[in-house]
């Protein structure tokens, strides 16, 4: 499968998750997912088994631990790209405060749109607004994309 075909599959799968209710630590299309659960579910559907088991994490894991767990894990399993070079199908990581680790993930769906889930909102496709762009911390491609 070409990189372009893989990106198309990633986006089609991510869009199939739209409307899935937010549920912390979940990753079941149609039943529940958090932001990481969406990325994990897309990985499973497109690439197969997840590369590592998911450790337990609390909703405030980033604030409590102050470690770049999400970014470091992404570096082990995805391919880091420059934020400015991110393409549809890439994973975006966000940091909500400059002094805190990245703790939110989304899949870029178009130059100014993303698919993501966050507390109180089902998986949705939204604009990558200036607010979100200011909080971008890293971007990664799925292997082979």
Q: Domains, the chain, ranges and CATH? A: 3-141 (3.90.1720.10)
| Residue the block writes with tokens 């991510």 | 14
Per-residue pLDDT of 19-53, as tens digits, reads: 999 999 899 999 999 999 999 999 999 999 998 88
Q: Helices in the chain by DSSP H: which ranges?
A: 3-16, 35-47, 61-65, 69-77, 130-134
Per-residue pLDDT of 66-110, as tens digits, reads: 778 889 999 999 999 999 999 999 999 999 988 888 989 999 999
At residue 71, φ and ψ (nearest 5 deg) are -65, -45
pLDDT at 33: 97
The proportion of the chain whose per-residue pLDDT surpasses 70, expressed as a percent, equals 92
Angle value at C-alpha 144, between 28 and 93, nearest 5 degrees = 55
């Amino acid at each position: 499968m070409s990189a372009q075909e893989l990106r198309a599959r990633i986006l089609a799968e991510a869009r199939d998750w739209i409307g899935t209710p937010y549920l912390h630590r979940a990753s079941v299309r149609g039943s529940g997912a958090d932001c990481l659960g969406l990325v994990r579910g897309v990985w499973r559907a497109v690439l197969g088994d997840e590369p590592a088991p998911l450790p337990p994490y609390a909703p405030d894991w980033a604030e409590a631990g102050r470690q770049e767990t999400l970014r470091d894990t992404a570096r082990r399993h995805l391919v880091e790209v420059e934020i400015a070079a991110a393409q549809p199908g890439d994973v975006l990581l966000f940091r909500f405060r400059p002094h805190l680790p990245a703790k939110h993930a989304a899949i870029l769906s178009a130059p100014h749109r993303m698919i993501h889930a966050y507390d109180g909102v089902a998986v949705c496709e939204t604009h990558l607004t200036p607010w979100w762009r200011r909080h971008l911390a890293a971007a990664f491609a799925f292997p082979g994309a």
